[in-house]
Amino acid sequence: EVPPERLAAVATEMVEADGDLDWFSAGRLLGQAKSRPDMKWADGKALKDAVEAALLAKLGPRPAKGAGKPKGGKKGKGGGGKGKGKGKEAA
């Protein structure tokens, strides 16, 4: 078991060391924290809470759902391009 003080210290250290930081970094930071040898026996929920608390202290409150998502063109299966298609080919 890892003490909560150690979890908070590791989370703060990782947040401070990260150059490209936003709320979308939480999952990446959590994965990096879990991969550290000293965090092998840490409680996952407690570690997640520590990372989120460190992000809250650094970035402020999390934006509302969908507010900070990157905007881009709709991506999906296209039907207008050339290539193998299903169906009859025009002869």
Give 74 or 39, the one with higher predicted confidence.
Answer: 39
Q: Is 81 exposed, middle or buried (0-12, 13-18, 19+ CB in 10 A)?
A: exposed
Q: Which domain holds residue 36?
A: 4-59
Q: Confirm whether pTM is higher than 0.75.
A: no
pLDDT in tens, 47-66: 999 999 999 999 888 887 76
The amino acid occupying position 64 is A
Query: Domain total for the chain?
Result: 1
> How large is the average pLDDT for residues 12-38?
90
Q: What percent of the chain shows pLDDT beyond 70?
A: 71
With respect to residue 90, please indicate whether it lies within any of the assigned structural domains. no
How large is the average pLDDT for residues 8-16? 92
Instruction: Report pLDDT for 67.
Output: 62
32 in a structural domain: yes
Domain annotation covers residue 16: yes
Q: Write b or e for each residue in 38-74: b if 16 or more Cβ atoms lie within 10 A of its Cβ, otherwise e.
A: ebeebeeebbbebbbebbeeeeeeeeeeeeeeeeeee
